[in-house]
Amino acid sequence: MRLRVDLLPHGQYPDVVMVIDVLRATTTAITYLERGAPALLLTSTPDIALAMKLEAASGIYALGGERGGLPIPGFDFGNSPVEAAAQNFTGRTVIMNTTNGTAAAHVAAQTGKHVFLAALTNAHGAARRARATATEEIAIVCAGTDERVGLEDVYTAGVLAEYLLAMGEFSIDDGARIALTVRRSGGNPLEALGSSAHGARLASLGLGEDVRYSAGLSTSTLVPTLDRASDPPPGTLRFISG
């Protein structure tokens, strides 16, 4: 079994893919499903999300997303796991669009047979699900920030890689070796996330609580899973609880 870590999305995934945008899209996605959303629709653009809400009956959809860390005009929510945790989304599908995380999921879905969303908060559960599903390769894909490698995502990839290596034997690539090195030298999760450039940026925007929330290790067993059986609108991926 191969274990691969892409420090930025590259594509060509033959088997299982775990997408990480720990600050904050994948952490927030997990929280939306925990708070009762029956599904998540990850769109390729904000305009698709806004059009879907305009065309739907009132109350069916909630829109969550950001650009540059700030809420998108016309959206109901930003990309905050703390904000999401305070809501009840029972019966409301959440449509998401973010700067980096939703784009990474779309890259993974182009070729990946099985696509999961992973973060620190569901790290154990995501690693177990990936190991149970994979037949040839597990790829851990870091979303990064504005097409640049993000320390916080690489650290999280290292946590996932550690869990997977404890479950069995893998051949690992250089990306996995880098992620494991960052994990082992990066301190505890809050130190790693808080010291990253993106973590510092969020703190400067008054979103330090989101960083602290995202540093929670294995607080959830929920794994957002790409629903290949559904037929969502063009430019949209549907994720459900797994």
pLDDT averages per 10-residue partition of the chain, 242 residues: 97 96 98 98 96 83 94 95 98 96 97 98 98 98 96 98 97 98 97 97 96 98 96 94 90
- Given the structure tokens 């797994």, which residue do they identify? 242
Which three-class secondary structure state does DSSP give residue 183?
helix
Q: What is the edge-to-edge ordering of all strands in the sheet holding 93-97?
A: 70-71, 61-67, 93-97, 40-43, 236-241, 224-226, 114-118, 16-20, 137-142, 2-6, 171-172
DSSP state of 139: E
